Structure 1
């Protein structure tokens, strides 16, 4: 049943709004993927019980000679050769040595490997001077992982974790399905990049920027055709989008203008939880659901859309994947220049972060207007300035969200 129209009411704090949004998170299901496609995926379980030893047999960690330590020192006739992948291990006869390659099974009877550079070879014999420690240069069966041992995986599968799964003999692995996030941009003024602009038109930045943000958060973007500023057309696309994914993200149409229709559409066909947050940029932000599918209406300005995505949509996607938080690093950073803000809202200012030792610094990345997208592209952090302050003071420290740790300049 559609809800009654919502009165404006007070603006929610950022934490209050995020808590309500996260309350709508439902974990997505599980699917098996080939290891070649597992990079960046979230494992369905972070604890896997190994079914085999890794390595499954004792082997050499060096090119050299397999020996019995009791036979050393002295010259030993070379009685055979063991190569990696060469079949069953050979047998080392007492008083002899077997030439062995890295990774080859240790011959039965051998208890050490002497590196080739520590030997002298002549006339079919190898001379080893001095004693050799028992087990030297030998990797025992289960040296890395033993059968029955629990292997703890990271929250996201990276190259090393995928290599571990492959070493355990797994061709596929169960991961969380990527949440399907439907993206709907609204506005008569929007034109696809590559098309000629007519008077009063602008290029659609939100569809592409939000799609990229969805992928970065670990989800699958589904872009719908843009919605015109028409209530019936918007309603049709909202219904379509809510039925096509796990989450619908709409950009534009959430404010109080005569052609902003998302709020009345949600109130009529679904549920509207709130639509105003005390956040800068991005005060108009709608949240509700249609048929049980969460719907988040972001502001139309690209900066506001991307910043509010970072604050509210990204944590929701992570919660759907069974993960917590925003996945970003946070640091206290000293602001080098004063920056103005709206005292009635908590601000997230675009900054460039740098570090000298343990001392983090932040400087403005450029203009802070919600229409200035280039400063967001230049920023590697968002500086959080609490509600109630009219400006961020130079020399003060504030919490910084690190958007791109690879671009943080590190000084001496």
Structure 2
């Protein structure tokens, strides 16, 4: 009896243990950090705001100068727009017209909104202003205190967090010119097969698409995808192509040549019949059962994916993406929605990877619908890979990898 086929999760865990890609901090200009992972925590270098500022258009006053309830008329001693420059202290017994975002003058302990005065909000600064108040405003009314938004040395983001537009804006507001991101892993894709062509078809030829597809997937996962390389079905050519790929890469990904045929050149070159530097297995997974991994010259890790486009895509998201900085592909459990597209017979004991699309049901719960179509076609609009038959999945539920 043959050995049982490894479960996809077991294979995924094996690769995560055996392949640890080099990590390094790469400071990048803050504006270019969006989408990358942080290599270190980010803390605020200063308080924001750094000085008290007005949170309302109005008049900065000393509360001790106000008569409440009733009317208070005060001379206007200054106009304070939101612009750089020194702000004079507020003279006792006066008010200063102030705009939102302007620094509050020393001595003022409240800002009275312009709507509570007789001033024209759009007119020139008046010589005096009358304030109509029913009660004394609380201390620091409409004043944003120093550090109210962000305290000095406050944690803004943790190591491993993905940089989003919000962090970019916050970092720039705090004067941070760079962010400490993880260096993008350099990954080469090597596609194999004499039948693959780049242009016009001839009898027996197949347009090569795995290289472009996997390079796009690598970029989406935060890696630096090098130009895909192509090798035919001969050992000498493949050996030279792999050496070229390994020279510039942190990781090499191959597609094709790992089945059980005489022309499965990757397996015969690197497996038991060759250098024995790679291990191959047929997982309990359809499509994408043939898989492999190993080491190339210089110790560069290599992951071997099937040559079929859908098998390569499924294998990438299950086994390659988790290895990349910023490319973690967590598997979640989601309620199944429309399963009418699941008309094919499924092999018992295997995990079946299918294209799916996520949505919210009427009750607000997330559902995943199986998409109709054969092979790669449904992945044109899929946003999830649905793993039907994954161990521990209850009826009506499925494991899902989000694309």
Q: Are 1:312 and 2:306 matched, yes or no? A: no
Of the three residues 374, 379, 384, the one matched with 1:376 is 379
The equivalences for 1:11-30 within 5 A come to: 11-23=5-17, 24-30=19-25
Of the three residues 175, 182, 199, the one matched with 1:176 is 182
Give 1:203's aligned residue: 207
TM-score, with length taken from structure 2: 0.88
C-alpha distance in structure 2 between counterparts of 1:401 and 1:60, whole Å: 49
* 1:330 CA drift (Å): 4.2
Judged with a 3 Å threshold, the aligned counterparts in structure 2 of structure 1 residues 94 and 388 are, in CA distance, closer, same or farther, namely: closer
C-alpha distance in structure 1 between counterparts of 2:163 and 2:332, whole Å: 19
Give 2:123's aligned residue: none
C-alpha distance in structure 2 between counterparts of 1:185 and 1:197, whole Å: 17
Q: Are 1:275 and 2:281 matched, yes or no? A: yes
* 1:283 CA drift (Å): 1.0
| CA contact 2:329–2:402 (8 Å) conserved in 1 | no
* 1:374 CA drift (Å): 1.5
- 3-state SS, counterpart of residue 213 of structure 2: helix
Q: Are 1:296 and 2:303 matched, yes or no? A: yes
Give 1:38's aligned residue: 33
Judged with a 3 Å threshold, the aligned counterparts in structure 2 of structure 1 residues 230 and 9 are, in CA distance, closer, same or farther, namely: farther
Cα deviations by residue, 1:50-103 (Å, 9 ceiling, x for unpaired): 332111111111222111122224111111111222311221111211111221
| CA contact 2:5–2:283 (8 Å) conserved in 1 | yes
Q: Are 1:135 and 2:129 matched, yes or no? A: no
* 1:149 CA drift (Å): 3.1
TM-score, with length taken from structure 1: 0.86
Of the three residues 246, 251, 256, the one matched with 2:255 is 251
C-alpha distance in structure 2 between counterparts of 1:373 and 1:203, whole Å: 14
Q: Are 1:222 and 2:217 matched, yes or no? A: no
* Unaligned 5+ runs, structure 1: 1-7, 405-412
C-alpha distance in structure 1 between counterparts of 2:368 and 2:102, whole Å: 54
- 3-state SS, counterpart of residue 42 of structure 1: coil
Judged with a 3 Å threshold, the aligned counterparts in structure 2 of structure 1 residues 246 and 222 are, in CA distance, closer, same or farther, namely: same
Give 1:342's aligned residue: 347
| CA contact 1:67–1:97 (8 Å) conserved in 2 | yes
> Cα RMSD (Å) of the superposition?
2.4
Q: Which has the larger displacement, 210-219 or 127-136?
A: 127-136
Judged with a 3 Å threshold, the aligned counterparts in structure 2 of structure 1 residues 316 and 188 are, in CA distance, closer, same or farther, namely: same
Residues matched between the structures, number:
383
* 1:335 CA drift (Å): 5.0
Give 2:65's aligned residue: 71
Give 1:398's aligned residue: 397
- 3-state SS, counterpart of residue 252 of structure 2: strand
C-alpha distance in structure 2 between counterparts of 1:115 and 1:186, whole Å: 72
Judged with a 3 Å threshold, the aligned counterparts in structure 2 of structure 1 residues 36 and 295 are, in CA distance, closer, same or farther, namely: same
| CA contact 1:288–1:296 (8 Å) conserved in 2 | yes
| CA contact 1:43–1:155 (8 Å) conserved in 2 | yes
* 1:247 CA drift (Å): 0.7
* 1:249 CA drift (Å): 0.5
* 1:121 CA drift (Å): 1.9
Cα deviations by residue, 1:15-58 (Å, 9 ceiling, x for unpaired): 11111111112342111111111111111113x34332111111
* Unaligned 5+ runs, structure 2: 121-125
Give 1:410's aligned residue: none
Q: Are 1:386 and 2:384 matched, yes or no? A: no
C-alpha distance in structure 2 between counterparts of 1:11 and 1:223, whole Å: 34
Give 2:54's aligned residue: 60
